[in-house]
């Protein structure tokens, strides 16, 4: 490992490793239960767990019924809590445990946080189910009643109440909020109030029994509450060993983060079950910073913040545990879900264009087609829009403008596609007009610099704009989101249009959209042409061809692989991650494709271009947003064109020195 690996630790990157554990228990056998939980904690330590969550009333078992009145059981439960607290010191781990606790003559269903050898705090259950198979109010008192603020447990003053938040001393953004089982099912779960007050990790020790269809409902509750609270949610359900006199407990454990289920256990298993995941507290912080509804909601001001030791923050963060991380964050891996995404995006693009055409009363459009992916997708959107409006497809005027680098393959595909789709096609070569322009400005045609390339792009845009004026039409743009992020477009050239249908679609997704159109929207010769376009190398075709048809210019050789840049774009814009974390994540998913120096090189290119090319995005034409990442200057991304990227470049440079 390189010496920079020492900085890829949980504290630096914002990850916390958590476990949800459903131990094998015996009803009312505290010694056995503590032994099982101790064994589970030791196994969790081997996996680098920092916080473990056990089920409701796990020290005694949930299904003790009237045995909860037995002094022998209550005393043993308290003794078991102290034993597990001592174990937490030896293991350097924090854990949340369930037990019955007598306070001022009342019995409470409680969850206790133990850490570094001590009991940090105790939270009583707020909502006690007493319907159907549940009758908790027979034994317990709700935690919403007047409570003493502290308890004396073995000579230690311990905070007590439903108003507790637990703050990680080593990672202040890791704030725990505890609710218990039925609390989640309430109309206003306590976790909502806890999240607004700062809790980023919500935990739920539970003893929810199994009924037909209940697991799906439970799963949705956990996932949705994590989304609503912009938090991680760790749910630990009672399982093996609980009494099955009238009901069965499946040991359902779930870990979710901001609406995404990271991992869940298999139910109805014998023995102790444990699931582990790394939750990203830094990501949750960023989500909350950007969410206006969260910032405007009134936070409870009377909650007590109790520090606790979040051990193992200096452990290496790689490899991440049960954390879905895709090389193509814009493209779902599952074919069925990917097809659904493509259908939705295509409909969004089409509907956006329809509304613009209806608003201005246009019945004709122009667009440049090159036989490449972007212009093909824009053309297909136009065709679908015209079909839905009941307009004749001949109102779509596609213009192919061959220049110095146009290949026979791309030109042929463009012309054949236009013919098969039944649209209007004009071919307007630009070589002569560009040469005249070079003569006018005194540019040597043999100097293949930025002037040479951009003159062609601007000539094409001028043709499109002027022809649109001739026919009373609208110029439809063809560039995509990835090109906007990198500024890989000519200012006032292909950067400009009257409506930009691909503005929200990243390059890695464009290819799949065209493929989806070939599979599900079009058939026959059209589908065959689309598939060949998908296989065509990406190039702007601005440099002269070499040895006949050999391309002298391939986009990804110049600016880098789009799969890397789209990955960077998602992490930088969607999650606001710093270069260190983006590089760490890229190493995880691209390790078998690119070496570290290659990844870091293109990451540097991404940041330099992203900052330098903002002026192009600041004057982007209108276009529909299709996903959670968008760069419209009127909506999602408002950034000064002259903002300095020095802070980000400095971290890239530092990483480069570490790899040298």
In 463-498, which positions are buried (b, 16+ CB within 10 angstroms) versus exposed (e)? bbeebbeeeebbbbbbbbbbbbbbbbbbeebbbbbb
- Report the half-sphere exposure of 389 (CA within 13 A, side-chain side): 25
Quick check: helix, strand or coil at residue 213?
coil
CA Rg, the chain, in Å?
30
SS3 611: helix
Can you say whether residue 521 is alpha, beta or left, with left for phi > 0 and alpha for psi between -120 and 50 degrees? alpha
Cα 97 from Cα 538, distance rounded (Å): 57
Phi and psi torsions of 114, nearest 5°: -115, 145
71-91 and 30-46 helices, crossing angle to 10°: 20
Q: What angle do CA 589, 593, 599 make, to 5 degrees?
A: 75
Segments in 102-213 forming alpha helices (H): 190-196
Q: Are 404 and 543 in contact (CB under 8 A)?
A: yes
Distance CA 206, CA 178 (A): 11
Buried b (16+ CB within 10 A) or exposed e, 309-318: bbbbbeeebb
Residue numbers annotated as active site: 56, 125, 181
Provide the token pair at 139.
């034994």
Enumerate the β-bridge partners of residue 156.
Answer: 153
Q: Dig out the tokens for 163 from the structure.
A: 């108003």
Whole-number Cα distances in Å, 293 to 225, 287, 301, 630: 15, 11, 18, 20
Q: Are 201 and 18 in contact (CB under 8 A)?
A: yes
The values of phi and psi at residue 59, to 5°, are -70, -35
> CA-to-CA distance for 234 and 168, rounded, in angstroms?
16
Q: Report the distance separating Cα 139 and Cα 66, nearest Å.
A: 7
């Amino acid at each position: 490992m390189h010496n920079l690996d020492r900085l890829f630790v949980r504290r630096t990157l914002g990850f916390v490793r958590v476990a949800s554990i459903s131990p094998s228990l015996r009803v009312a056998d505290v010694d056995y239960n503590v032994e099982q939980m101790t064994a589970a904690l030791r196994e969790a330590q081997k996996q680098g767990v920092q916080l473990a969550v056990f089920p409701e009333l796990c020290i005694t078992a949930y299904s003790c019924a009237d045995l909860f009145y037995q002094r022998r059981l209550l005393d043993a439960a308290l003794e078991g809590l102290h034993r597990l607290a001592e174990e937490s010191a030896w293991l350097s781990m924090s854990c949340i445990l369930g037990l019955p606790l007598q306070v001022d003559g009342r019995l409470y269903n409680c969850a206790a946080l133990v850490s570094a050898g001590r009991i940090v705090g105790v939270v009583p259950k707020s909502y006690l189910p007493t319907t159907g198979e549940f009758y908790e109010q027979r034994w317990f008192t709700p935690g919403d009643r007047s409570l003493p603020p502290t308890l004396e447990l073995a000579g230690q003053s311990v905070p007590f109440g439903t108003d507790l938040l637990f703050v990680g001393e080593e990672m202040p953004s890791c704030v725990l909020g505890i609710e218990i089982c039925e609390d989640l099912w309430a109309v206003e779960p306590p976790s909502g109030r806890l999240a607004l007050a700062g809790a980023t990790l919500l935990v739920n020790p539970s003893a929810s029994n199994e009924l037909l269809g209940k697991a799906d409902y439970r799963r949705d509750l956990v996932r949705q509450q994590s989304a609503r609270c912009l938090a991680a949610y760790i749910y630990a359900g009672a399982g093996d060993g609980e009494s099955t006199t009238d009901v069965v407990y499946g040991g359902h454990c779930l870990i979710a983060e901001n609406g995404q289920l990271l991992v869940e256990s298999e139910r109805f298993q014998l023995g102790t079950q444990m699931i582990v995941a790394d939750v990203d507290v830094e990501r949750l912080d960023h989500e909350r910073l950007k969410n206006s509804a969260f910032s405007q909601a009134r936070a409870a001001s009377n909650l007590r913040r109790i520090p606790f030791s979040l051990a193992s923050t200096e452990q290496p963060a790689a490899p991440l545990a049960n954390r879905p991380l895709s090389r193509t964050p814009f493209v779902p891996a599952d074919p069925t879900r990917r097809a659904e995404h493509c259908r939705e995006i295509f409909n969004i693009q089409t509907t956006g264009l329809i509304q613009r055409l209806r608003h201005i009363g246009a019945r004709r459009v122009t667009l440049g087609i090159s036989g490449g992916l972007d212009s093909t997708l824009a053309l297909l959107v136009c065709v679908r829009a015209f079909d839905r409006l009941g307009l004749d497809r001949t109102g779509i005027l596609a213009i192919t403008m061959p220049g110095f680098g146009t290949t026979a393959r791309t030109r042929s595909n463009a012309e054949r596609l236009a013919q098969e789709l039944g649209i209007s096609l004009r071919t307007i070569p630009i070589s002569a007009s560009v040469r005249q322009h070079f003569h006018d400005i005194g540019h040597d045609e043999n100097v293949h610099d930025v002037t040479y390339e951009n003159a062609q792009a601007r000539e094409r845009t001028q043709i499109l704009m002027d022809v649109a004026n001739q026919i009373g039409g609208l110029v439809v743009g063809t560039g995509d989101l990835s090109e906007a992020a990198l500024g890989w477009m000519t200012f006032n050239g292909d950067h400009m249009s009257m409506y930009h249908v691909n503005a929200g679609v990243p390059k890695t997704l464009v290819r799949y959209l065209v493929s989806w159109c070939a599979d599900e929207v079009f058939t026959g010769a059209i589908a065959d042409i689309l598939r060949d376009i998908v296989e065509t190398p990406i190039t702007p075709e601005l440099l002269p061809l070499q040895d006949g048809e050999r391309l002298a210019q391939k986009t990804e050789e110049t600016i880098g692989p789009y799969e890397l840049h789209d990955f960077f774009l998602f992490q930088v814009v969607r999650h606001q991650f710093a270069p260190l974390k983006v590089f760490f994540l890229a190493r995880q998913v691209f390790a078998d494709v690119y070496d570290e120096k290659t990844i870091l090189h293109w990451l540097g290119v991404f940041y330099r271009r992203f900052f330098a090319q903002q002026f192009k995005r600041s004057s982007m034409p209108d276009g529909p947003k299709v996903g959670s990442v968008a760069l419209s200057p009127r909506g999602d991304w408002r950034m000064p064109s002259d903002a300095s990227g020095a802070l980000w470049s400095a971290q890239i440079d530092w990483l480069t020195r570490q790899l040298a």
